[in-house]
Each structure stands twice: as C-alpha cells, then as structure tokens.
Structure 1
Amino acid sequence: MSNQWVRLDFVPQLGGRLMQVTFDGHAYLFVNPKYAGKYISPEQAAGRWINYGGDKIWPLPEGNDDEQHWTGASTPLDDGVYAFSVLSQGDRCTVRLDGPPDPPTGLQYSREISIGSDSPEIDFHAITKNSTGHSIDWSVQSVSQYDLSDANAPDGWNHNFWALTQVASDSPYLLGYHVRDGLANDPSYAVDDGMFRLHWRYIEGEVWVDSGPQWVALVNGVNNYTMVEKGTHIRNAEYPGKATVIFYKNGPTVEFNAQEMPFVTPPGREKTPYYMEAELNSPMAQLEAGQTYTMDTRWFPCRMGPELKEVTDSGVIGTALTAVRNGTEVNLSGHFGVFFPGTLEAYLYDRGGTERGRVPVQTVSPKELIDLHHAIPAPANIARITIHLIDSHQADRGALGEALVSTPAGER
C-alpha cells in the first residue's frame, strides 16, 4: 500500500505484520534476515518466539505467572496466518488484517491500517476481541522494531540513534523512568528538561516510562529521518506497571555461568541483531465474552535530528521560534519538521492579544528539514507571533511555535 509519500509492506502470514515502512526512500523497520522468505508455524516453533521484525500488536502483561500473563511464545496471536482484505481505495486507502483466536490468551486481534493521498500520516485501528466464554483482563500494545544497522559504521551499528518521549510531571518512577531489564545505570538513559532521551547503545535493556502525551520519537541522527508515533493517553487509567511507553534495546546482556560468575554474552549481528523496540501501551481492559476493545495510534514520518525538543499536532521542534524586530520587519528563526505538506503562516498579535493579521512565510514538506530564517513585515504594535502549518486543503494543522517579539538591546 503506497502513496506519493510512504510505502507500507505487509506480510499477513507472519502474524499480520506490517513488515516495512519506507518514507522518501528511507526504510525504518528492522526485518530479520534470518527468517527472510521463511515461515515457522506455532507448531514448528514449539514454544520459541520467532522474531521476524516489523510492526505488530502484543498483549500485556508479559510473564509466566498465570493465565493473565503472556509468555511471549510464537502462538497464533503473534505467528498465526492473518486474513488480508482491502476496505477502501482512492483518496484514502484502508486494509484490514484479521487474526485467528489465540487459545493461550483468549484474544483475537484485528487491525485496520490507513493512509491518505495528501500526507505520509499512517493511522492504526487495533481491535482486541475476547474469543472465550469468560471474562479476561489484558492491555494491548503496538510494538515497532526499528533498524539500528549502519553499513558505514566500523562495527555495523548506528551510533547516532535516539528515542525520545515526554515524561509525565507526576511520574510514579523515581527517575522519571523504570529500568525493567538490563543495567540500572545504563548510560543510554537520561531525562533532560522533562524529556526522556535514550541514546541507543548495543547492550540489552528495557525501560518503562509514564509519558503523559504518549508520543515517541525515533530519530536517526545519521540522516535526520524521524518517526513520531502517537497514542491516546487516558489520565488515571490503569496501565501495566504504570508504563504508557516502553523501549527495548536488543544487544548483549550480563548473565551468570554455572560457577555463578558474571559474564557478558558475546555480540554478533546474526544472533543478536541491531534493533530496538518502541511500544505504546493501552490501559488494562476487562473484556466480557465476545466483547471488543479498540486502540488507535498514528505515525508521522518526518525529518528532524537528535536536537528534537517538542512534538506538536503539526510537526516537531528542534530549535524554538524566535522573533526579533528589525525596523518595520520581524526576523523569524527556528528549526522544525512538519507532518503535512503546506505553508507556514505567521499569526500576528498585538499587546492586547488581538490578532492583527496573517502573513505567509514559506511552503514546507515532510521530506525537508526546515531551517527557518525569514523576515516578515510587522507593524510596531505587533508583540507576539505564532507560526501555524496550513495544509494543502487550507486546514490549520496547529502551531509549530510561538514567540514574543524582542528588540535588539542597542535599539531599546
């Protein structure tokens, strides 16, 4: 499924996976070469997890405590053959993937995935059904595996890959995040000005974050291709382990041998490939027999580097907007990426907050980094300027930044 912006490759036989997303020639997702062109049925897997890569949905919580935990094995839920159908074509294309009932969990998954003709936005509508005759409790999560390989790096992996999300101001975690697996002092993790920043390193780890806005940004700093995934955070809902977002880093790990001496498992791309997972969680949902629960997420391929500071409805911000007066003009500066093609417009406000006009600034595209340096005419009474993205249908997609108009020190 494709438009002028993105191409989506599906492999329904492999647990209904979206196997690859390509935007502007850049492929985002990890595809495991070990299983290229292969299918290993749940019966053949015999309790193992077969990691094909790509994007899929999974249940939470994980574990082997009881029937209300998913063991992570390749069962019909993750490795069954899904039916593929086309629901619509034209200005908006939608496909549907319907999975078989999964006896271990009692769940049955379906997903509808859509793209329009006017932008690279990808919409996901996940449907969880209780296929049993009794009530069950589960969360559903979208799980996307991102490719961390880099053919130009000496050791073959990307040393400039980042994962970011905003930490909830009232996070239940001491540091704003919780290391679920791996090194507690892993230098990959940090919180800076309310933003959780993961700088990928080749060592295994899983970290849980309570992200209020529930968005994640996966940033390839080598070429500045970014993917923003957005969920819908429900305040005061019960999330598994209080985590709305989970990141998993694949890599070598610390284990103990028979003599109880610690060692690091050997690295190697074949057995321990270069990828990381970004996971958006739903709240726990109690489903009665035959009942369904839905989860909606959206993806926005765009351009931005590791300097990403904020995600808005219209795009991403690397450097915040500034507005500096220069006589009868105001010089606008900032560094942005956008989710939709269109035009940046400056909304002009006076000191009383009344809008006094709008000025087109420049045309923009999701395929381009926007390094804004533009002067616009502005009367002396203009005190504040907001930059909005107006899409190709003349819809206002929201603000990318807002700034008070400042005057150079020597001119005050």
Structure 2
Amino acid sequence: MRRTGSRRERAAARSCCSPGTGTMSDLLPHAVEVTVDEAGPDEVVWLRAGAVELGAVPALGGRILALRLAGHETLYRNDALLDERLHRRADHGPAPDGTMATWRNYGGDKTWPAPQGWDGPGQWAGPPDAVLDSGPYTWTVAEHGGRARLTMSSAADPRSGLTIRRLVDVVDGSTTVTITHRLINTGPHPVRWAPWNVLQLPGPVAGTGDGWYAGVDDSPVPIRGLLAGTGLPSWALADGVVHVTGQDVVGKLAVPGASGWLATVSGGHLVTQHFAVDPAGRYPDGGARAEVWLECPQERGIESLGGLRPTARILESEVLGPLVDLAPGEHTDLIVRLSVLRCGAPPRRVTPGGVVLRHLHAARTGHGLQLTGAFATFTDGTVRCRLLGSDGAPIADRPVTAAVAGGELALDVRTEDHPDAAAVELAVVRPGSPDAVLDTAVISPPPVGSGRISS
C-alpha cells in the first residue's frame, strides 16, 4: 500500500486517478495496487486492478465515489461537492439542517438499511442520517496474491441498532468488483432489516439509446410504480428484460420479479450488478428485489419528497436483500458483483461470465459446428466450448478464443462436432478461478435419435 501526500506524490496520484480515454490495450491486466491519498480533507483509498480504478472515501459514509475503466468514469459524482480526486471542495454547500433540502448527495455507491420510511422504528428514516449515510466509516485494507480487500465500517447507530460494514474486493485480470453489504445488529434488542445497495450513475438522456435494464422472471407483477415525485418513469418489457429509457421525471419503480441482474448503458459503457435472489424471501417495499430511481434538474424543491431539489440527471440502480430478523450480534449479507465493460449495446442477459449481447447460436454443418454470438466478458481467460449430450453430461471440451476483461467478444468460429452432442455451453476459464458460464445453446439440427435438452 502506498500513501501519498508530498508534492511529488500528489502529482503521481493525479496522474493515476485522472479520467481520460483508453484503448483496448488499456484493458490488459496489471498488478493490483492500493494507494491512499492523504492530501485532501479526507483520506481517499484507491484500488487499482488491471484497467479498473476504484476510489472510496470512508469519511463520507463509506461511499465508493469513483469506478473507472481505462480512465473512463462510470459513476455519478456530485462535481459541486467533490473534485475528480474525490476531495471535498471548499464551498461544500449549505450546512445540513436535517432535511432533504440540505442533504449532501455525493453520488457513488453506498449501503443503506431497508425499508425506508418515517412512520415508526421499523423503518429507516433517512437520508439524511448522521451515522449510516453521512457519518465517517473506519477502514482497513489488505492485499494478497493479486487481490485486495477494502473493509469500511460505520459507527453503531442507536436508532436502527445497526452497524454497516462494506467489504470491497478487487482481483487482477477482472473488471468485477465484489461488494458485500453487511448489516450487523450491534444493539441490545432483536431487529428486522434488509440490506439495500444504492448505486448512482449518470442519468440517461432521452433519445440517446442509453438506459437501464433488468432481467425479470415470470412473476405476475414483475415491475410496478413505487414513488412519484413529479411522476412515474415509463418502462417496456420484452423477452424477460425490463427497459427504462432516459426521461424527464423524478420517480421510482419497484421490480418484484428481478431475476438477479441489472445493467445500465451510458456513454458507450455498461455497468452491471449481479446478485442472488431468494424466491421464498420477504422483500421490502411490497416484495421489491430491485428498484430504479430517476431524477432530473428541478427549479424548486419537491414538497412530497421533503424539499429535495434535484440539480442533475441521475439514475439509481438499487438491489435489495430479503428482510432478516437479527438477534444481537447477528448479521446479514447482500453480495453484489459490480462490473464495468466497454460496450454500448443493450444487454440480453447477464451471466457469471459476462453480458450476452446476441445469444449463442450453434449450427451443425457438414464441416463441424458453427458458433456465433456476441458478448462482453468480465475476466481475462480462455473461452471454451463444452459439448453436452442430451442428458446434459459433458462430451468434449475445446478452446475457441480468448477473452479480455471489460471488452466485447464477437464470436464466429467453427469447431469440431461430435455425433452425440445436443447442446453447447460457453465458459470463460481462468487458472485459479471458478469457470464462469457465458451462454448455452441447443445445437440445430439435433443429433439423430436424441431427446431434448433445455438451454
């Protein structure tokens, strides 16, 4: 770990952490680096793993306030409050008075408890909140074998009975940051809460093709309106994917049918959140596993939102965990795999290996198997083709191409066929890591006399 503070070191930190443009060569791996910038009013912890740079300010509610791929910033940061080094500006806005009108929205990624509300002790009445949202977090960092973990912990909050702990993991050769959002009951009584991940991104502009996507299951009500400031965002649903475009509205949608992935396309980049869902779990806000909030600049505060006056176009992509009863000393975790990719195409699906941009197609020809599709991958590695029999058992395993973390992969290759193969599975394979499936497809036409296999 390197600490910066001298004039020479400050210049180096500016060079390391300044946004810019990049090429595909910038996506190639480098060593994991940890730098602590002590030159500003607050310590800024920078983690770099390959082409990914992450900046966190523990003193500002444990927020991650930068997530850059080859120099391109993907998160929303309130430029009126923070400069690009994540230092607080001298003119830091009006003094907080406990209302939304003076709440300092720095941006970035944070952890809150849910449900939110102001009706009783079982609801989190924030923001504003002087402990969990805006209070200083203690922090530690550890590096080992191409990996780094930043751990940030809030003070104990007597109102909720909680301490929030954020575990942030990066690994070389990957553009995925794994964030564990942990709620710990540090109070004297049992409590019931759900972890709530709030990720702020630049809001999509109408007509640009940018937008927010969510995979949904076959729930009777996969998405619904939740909160209307100036109105409810409009949305479309097709092929198991919800799409919300840029629009001039302040409001929120709940996604009870979220199947475990969210994605935001903005400025030629893609930010994804991948998480587990509990079909039997009881989720806050009437069963919402995920939510999306849109806001745009307003001339005056919105009375129904406590005087909140948005000054920027922001999208909040939010993941919720199920409500859990916690005895004193117990905790609950929500694990979100946050990934960044250089890709402006709409996602069809997010898988452990990456993003499906065009589904895998496997065609049996007289010269072998023709595999086509388009993807963006989270890790460096080898893309391998696994041939499966009609019972799903593997028959053969062959390399087909290389994957570069954070980059797109257009697949159009021919590989050797097997007469008993009924389906193909693509996976990104990397030494020392679990194999990560990209996509699967049924081979057409099927082998003679075979049964059916699902894809």
- The answer (yes or no) to whether the contact 2:265–2:346 under 8 Å persists in 1 is no
Which residue is equivalent to 1:227? 271
How big is the shift at 1:97? 0.7
- Mapped partners of 2:79, 2:412: distance in 1: 44
Q: Is the alpha carbon distance of 1:131 and 1:40 closer, same or farther for their aligned partners in structure 2, counting shifts above 3 Å?
A: farther
Q: Is the alpha carbon distance of 1:248 and 1:194 closer, same or farther for their aligned partners in structure 2, counting shifts above 3 Å?
A: same
Q: SS of 2:49's equivalent?
A: coil
Q: SS of 1:165's equivalent?
A: strand
Query: Deviations along 1:377-404, whole A, 9 cap, x unmatched?
Result: 3356655333222224475222423231
- Mapped partners of 1:158, 1:25: distance in 2: 26
- Mapped partners of 2:243, 2:119: distance in 1: 32
Query: Deviations along 1:199-257, whole A, 9 cap, x unmatched?
Result: 1223212000013532211222x41x212212221221110020010110012579999
Pick from 133, 139, 149: which aligns with 1:84? 139
Q: Is the alpha carbon distance of 1:271 and 1:238 closer, same or farther for their aligned partners in structure 2, counting shifts above 3 Å?
A: closer
Which residue is equivalent to 1:199? 245
Which residue is equivalent to 1:142? 197
Which residue is equivalent to 1:277? 316
Which residue is equivalent to 2:20? none
**1:25 equivalenced with 2:71 (yes/no):** yes
- Mapped partners of 2:233, 2:328: distance in 1: 45
**1:180 equivalenced with 2:226 (yes/no):** yes
Query: Deviations along 1:332-377, whole A, 9 cap, x unmatched?
Result: 1111111221122222346676644333211111232111111223
Which residue is equivalent to 1:46? 97
How big is the shift at 1:93? 0.7
Which residue is equivalent to 1:309? 348
How big is the shift at 1:12? 0.9
Which residue is equivalent to 2:212? 163
Which residue is equivalent to 1:189? 235
TM-score normalised by the chain length of structure 1: 0.84
Which residue is equivalent to 1:237? 281
- Mapped partners of 2:393, 2:143: distance in 1: 44
- The answer (yes or no) to whether the contact 1:304–1:336 under 8 Å persists in 2 is no
- Mapped partners of 1:97, 1:257: distance in 2: 33
- Mapped partners of 2:241, 2:379: distance in 1: 24
Q: Is the alpha carbon distance of 1:158 and 1:87 closer, same or farther for their aligned partners in structure 2, counting shifts above 3 Å?
A: farther
- Mapped partners of 1:257, 1:299: distance in 2: 31
- Mapped partners of 1:291, 1:382: distance in 2: 48
Q: 1:25 is matched by which residue type in structure 2?
A: G
How big is the shift at 1:148? 3.0
How big is the shift at 1:122? 1.2
Which residue is equivalent to 1:410? none
Which residue is equivalent to 2:256? 210
- The answer (yes or no) to whether the contact 2:288–2:320 under 8 Å persists in 1 is yes
Query: Deviations along 1:44-103, whole A, 9 cap, x unmatched?
Result: 412132211011101111121112222221321111011121133442211111111223
Which residue is equivalent to 2:160? 105
Q: Is the alpha carbon distance of 1:60 and 1:379 closer, same or farther for their aligned partners in structure 2, counting shifts above 3 Å?
A: closer
- Mapped partners of 2:170, 2:91: distance in 1: 30
Q: 2:282 is matched by which residue type in structure 1?
A: E
How big is the shift at 1:323? 2.2
- The answer (yes or no) to whether the contact 1:167–1:195 under 8 Å persists in 2 is yes
Q: Any unmatched runs of 5+ in structure 2?
A: 1-46, 83-87, 447-455
Alignment RMSD: 3.1
**1:133 equivalenced with 2:188 (yes/no):** yes
Q: SS of 2:80's equivalent?
A: helix
- Mapped partners of 1:367, 1:195: distance in 2: 22
Q: Is the alpha carbon distance of 1:13 and 1:378 closer, same or farther for their aligned partners in structure 2, counting shifts above 3 Å?
A: same
Q: 2:223 is matched by which residue type in structure 1?
A: Y
- The answer (yes or no) to whether the contact 1:16–1:98 under 8 Å persists in 2 is yes
TM-score normalised by the chain length of structure 2: 0.76
Q: Is the alpha carbon distance of 1:118 and 1:285 closer, same or farther for their aligned partners in structure 2, counting shifts above 3 Å?
A: same
Q: 1:247 is matched by which residue type in structure 2?
A: V
- The answer (yes or no) to whether the contact 2:231–2:249 under 8 Å persists in 1 is no
Q: Is the alpha carbon distance of 1:133 and 1:369 closer, same or farther for their aligned partners in structure 2, counting shifts above 3 Å?
A: same
- Mapped partners of 1:14, 1:57: distance in 2: 12
Which residue is equivalent to 1:262? none
Q: Is the alpha carbon distance of 1:392 and 1:282 closer, same or farther for their aligned partners in structure 2, counting shifts above 3 Å?
A: same
Q: Is the alpha carbon distance of 1:78 and 1:333 closer, same or farther for their aligned partners in structure 2, counting shifts above 3 Å?
A: same
How big is the shift at 1:187? 6.4
Q: 1:234 is matched by which residue type in structure 2?
A: D
Which residue is equivalent to 2:293? 248
Q: 1:104 is matched by which residue type in structure 2?
A: R
Q: Identify the range of structure 1 (240-249 vs 282-291) with the bigger mean alpha-carbon deviation.
A: 282-291
- The answer (yes or no) to whether the contact 1:76–1:102 under 8 Å persists in 2 is yes
Q: Is the alpha carbon distance of 1:185 and 1:256 closer, same or farther for their aligned partners in structure 2, counting shifts above 3 Å?
A: closer
Q: SS of 1:132's equivalent?
A: coil
Which residue is equivalent to 1:11? 57
- Mapped partners of 1:9, 1:352: distance in 2: 47
Which residue is equivalent to 1:261? none
How big is the shift at 1:38? 4.3
How many residues matched? 385
Percent identity, aligned pairs only?
Answer: 24
How big is the shift at 1:273? 0.4
Q: SS of 1:213's equivalent?
A: strand
Which residue is equivalent to 2:363? 324
